[in-house]
Homo-oligomer: A and B are copies of this chain.
Amino acid sequence: MGVQAHKVAVLGSTGIVGQQFVRMLDSHPYFELEALCGSQKSRGVTYEESVKWAVEENLPDKSKDIVISEVKAADFIKKGISIVFSAVPAAIAMNFEHELSQKGLWVFSNSSAYRMEPDVPIIIPEVNPDHIKLVERQIFENKGLIITNANCTTTGLSLALKPLQKFGLQSVNVTTYQALSGAGRNGLPSLDIMGNIIPFIKEEEEKVERETQKILGTMKNGQIENPETEIFATCSRVPVRNGHLLSIVATLKKDVDLEEIAKTFQNFKGIPQAMKLPTAPEIPIIIRNESDRPQPLMDVMAGSPDRARGMAVSLGRMRKKGNKIRFFALVHNTIRGAAGTCILNAELACTMRSHLNEA
């Protein structure tokens, strides 16, 4: 990259998504972890003492001795921090994210708090990188900004649908099998879910439907125009650790050969691949040809190189009846569906910095 690493802070660092940020930012070529923030009860002690680590690989050594601190723009600026990754719940994000961006910080947020604001983009770099222009409408002093990534399920769905848009997407029906880690570190009591399915996730279906519409929308006159695609989502929780599996039925506007569709998926690449962003998977959509894949246990960490493990979406069981195509898609909910795309967004923004600064 040639540029000096940006100092970054992670908000909500002890939660599952916070932990993925800490893991993925370790030895990152663009970013240097400088501050870890957490709720009042976790503050004042080291990250190692405070966190109940539950993600892939071990706790990175560099993070161990960082003392959990409060979110304070002034402190961040004093420490030379220019970028903030936020993994706090929406209600808390409301208190911080806008203020931090007003103070000139670049906020990349996994929270849903500002996603539907007209001047805040929800970016998946392979899908709608041009939406980043929305930030030109953000009237922040000192060139601060907020860029969000989508809900975990939305991210997998949008990546799976983007290549199909060229065939005309009339309507989409998705039924999900969502993993435990999506409910947070201590979110789901074992007595509720072990050997069971819970056919409800609060506000999830609404998020999936509206966020997918926004992401698949088109920039027109500085605004996003939603596509003429109906999205119906039905969401369930299943006893799987990581990986949201989606059963997708898409009605296309024309009758396209299944092989052509498969080829379209396989050839799909975006700006992160062209730019070789550090966290970009070489192949963003991997087609599994076995009869019984993708499976969460086997495919959730798909993606190469190493830094992009868990960043590829796996597709399988493609079938077709007339204009309707059906398939399964698997997305790592806390990597590609959360921290990973958020970091990829920051990589994209930093690379496009000159452009954004002119805004």
A194 touches B190 (CB 8 A): yes
Residues A103-125 near B (CB distance < 8 A): none
Among residues of B, the one whose C-beta sits closest to the C-beta of A247 is B175
B241 touches A238 (CB 8 A): no
A173 touches B236 (CB 8 A): no
A197-B238, A199-B292, A292-B198 given as contacts; is B189 within 8 A of A189 (CB)?
A: yes
A177-B177, A247-B234 given as contacts; is B240 within 8 A of A199 (CB)?
A: no
B326 touches A194 (CB 8 A): no
A54 to B249, CA, bound (A): 30
A173-B173, A180-B194, A185-B191 given as contacts; is B238 within 8 A of A200 (CB)?
A: no
B185 touches A295 (CB 8 A): no
Copy total for this chain = 4
Among residues of B, the one whose C-beta sits closest to the C-beta of A329 is B199
A236 touches B247 (CB 8 A): yes
CB distance from A232 to the nearest CB of B (A): 7
B195 touches A194 (CB 8 A): yes
CB distance from A141 to the nearest CB of B (A): 41
Bits for A250-273, please: 1 = Cβ < 8 Å to B, else 0.
000000000000000000000000
Q: Which among B189, B195, B298, B317 is the interface contact of A188 at CB below 8 angstroms?
A: B189
Any B CB within 8 A of the CB of A40:
no
B190 touches A297 (CB 8 A): no
A294 to B16, CA, bound (A): 21
A173-B249, A177-B238 given as contacts; is B297 within 8 A of A195 (CB)?
A: yes
B199 touches A190 (CB 8 A): no
A199-B317, A238-B238 given as contacts; is B295 within 8 A of A191 (CB)?
A: no
- Interface size of A as a range: 35 or more
Q: Which residues of B contact A328 (CB under 8 A)?
A: 199, 234
Q: Which residues of B contact A297 (CB under 8 A)?
A: 195-196
Any B CB within 8 A of the CB of A193:
yes
A199-B295, A232-B249, A326-B234 given as contacts; is B187 within 8 A of A189 (CB)?
A: yes
Any B CB within 8 A of the CB of A321:
yes
A189-B185, A295-B199, A328-B199 given as contacts; is B234 within 8 A of A194 (CB)?
A: no
Bits for A285-302, please: 1 = Cβ < 8 Å to B, else 0.
000000111111110000
A245 to B176, CA, bound (A): 12
A240 touches B195 (CB 8 A): yes
A240 to B249, CA, bound (A): 25
Any B CB within 8 A of the CB of A358:
no
Bits for A189-221, please: 1 = Cβ < 8 Å to B, else 0.
111111111111000000000000000000000
Q: Which residues of B contact A298 (CB under 8 A)?
A: 196
A209 to B23, CA, bound (A): 42
A293 to B192, CA, bound (A): 12
B293 touches A324 (CB 8 A): no
A82 to B192, CA, bound (A): 35
Beyond the given pairs A175-B247, A181-B191, A196-B297, 19 more chain A to chain B contacts, judged by CB atoms under 8 angstroms and listed by A's residue number, are A175-B175, A175-B234, A177-B236, A185-B189, A185-B191, A189-B189, A190-B193, A195-B195, A195-B240, A196-B240, A197-B238, A198-B292, A199-B292, A199-B293, A199-B317, A200-B291, A230-B321, A232-B249, A232-B324
